[in-house]
């Protein structure tokens, strides 16, 4: 059943439902604080921005400690594998039984076991209301190739059935044309 909410101003508490319908990968953003210690936060608001220059973005709640540590800092986007559910929960604030495994690589705090890791220099940060949007230039990367951890409606998932293989179509380059919508059917009485 479809629920529709109409109003001149959308209530913030209503936004979680449609936002949660967008399935995404799960990342942990790590950065070193001014004390040199590594800090991290789970984030599902992550996206590719540009291939040339190589840019990515992550969005964090402005009130989080992680947003404070990212201010002007280099950072790492750790794209979690399906086997890293405990890490996702840990960096979202849940206590786990063991310390996360990580390494310092060229000054970047990197979690071990990621499906992919992007080491970034901060390109810019933007006001996103109650969030901060941080764009990073990718300096180096590694890709493991295992299955990623997924999030949908506040729950975690593993990849299920593959529906189509689009790799040969180079989807990232974008469509060559803008497809118009079909005209609305005319109703007659």
Give the whole-angstrom CA distance, residue 124 versus residue 177: 30
What per-residue confidence (pLDDT) applies to 65?
A: 75
Residues with Cβ within 8 Å of 130's Cβ and at least 6 positions away in sequence, in order, are 61, 62, 63
**To which H or E segment does residue 176 belong?**
none
Closest CA to 56 of 87, 20, 25: 25
Residues with Cβ within 8 Å of 102's Cβ and at least 6 positions away in sequence, in order, are 30, 38, 109, 110, 111, 112
Give the whole-angstrom CA distance, residue 68 versus residue 79: 21
Q: Is the peptide bond before 53 cis (omega within 30 degrees of 0)?
A: yes
Residue 115 near residue 148, CB atoms below 8 Å: yes
The residue written with tokens 């040199």 in the block is 36
Closest CA to 114 of 82, 86, 159: 82
pLDDT 10s digits, 87-129? 999 998 888 888 899 999 988 999 999 999 999 999 999 998 8
CB neighbour burial string for 139-162, b if at least 16 within 10 angstroms, e if fewer: eeeeeeeeebbbbeeeeeeeeeee
What per-residue confidence (pLDDT) applies to 164?
A: 58
Domain 23-159, classified CATH 2.30.110.10, yes or no:
yes
For residues 137-162, average pLDDT? 87
Give the whole-angstrom CA distance, residue 27 versus residue 30: 9
Q: How far is CA 140 from CA 69, 77, 80, in A?
A: 21, 11, 17
Q: Where are the domains of the chain?
A: 23-159
For residues 141-167, average pLDDT? 80
Residue 81 has pLDDT above 80, yes or no: yes
What per-residue confidence (pLDDT) applies to 70?
A: 79
pLDDT 10s digits, 15-60? 666 665 656 789 999 998 888 888 899 988 899 999 999 999 999 8
pLDDT 10s digits, 3-16? 555 556 877 777 66
Residue 165 has pLDDT above 50, yes or no: yes
- Lowest mean pLDDT across 24-38, 67-81, 173-187: 173-187
Report the mean per-residue pLDDT for the chain: 82
Give the whole-angstrom CA distance, residue 42 versus residue 30: 9
Q: pLDDT-derived band of residue 1, with 50, 70 and 90 as boundaries?
A: very low
């Amino acid at each position: 059943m479809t629920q529709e909410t109409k109003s001149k101003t959308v209530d913030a508490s209503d936004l979680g439902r449609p936002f949660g319908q967008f399935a995404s990968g799960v990342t942990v953003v790590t950065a070193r604080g001014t004390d040199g210690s590594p800090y991290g936060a789970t984030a599902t608001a992550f996206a590719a921005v540009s291939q040339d220059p190589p840019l990515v973005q992550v969005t964090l709640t402005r009130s989080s400690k992680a947003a404070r540590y990212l201010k002007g800092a280099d950072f790492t986007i750790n794209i979690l594998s399906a086997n890293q559910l405990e890490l996702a929960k840990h960096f979202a604030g849940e206590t786990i039984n063991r310390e996360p495994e990580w390494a310092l690589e060229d000054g970047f705090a990197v979690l071990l076991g990621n499906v992919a890791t992007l080491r970034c220099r901060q390109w810019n940060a933007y006001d996103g209301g109650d969030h901060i949007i941080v764009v990073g230039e990718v300096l180096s990367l590694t890709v493991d190739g295992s299955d990623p951890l997924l999030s949908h409606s506040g729950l975690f998932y593993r990849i299920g059935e593959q529906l189509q293989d689009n790799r040969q179509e180079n989807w990232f380059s974008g469509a060559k044309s803008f497809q118009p919508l079909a005209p609305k059917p005319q109703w007659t009485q």
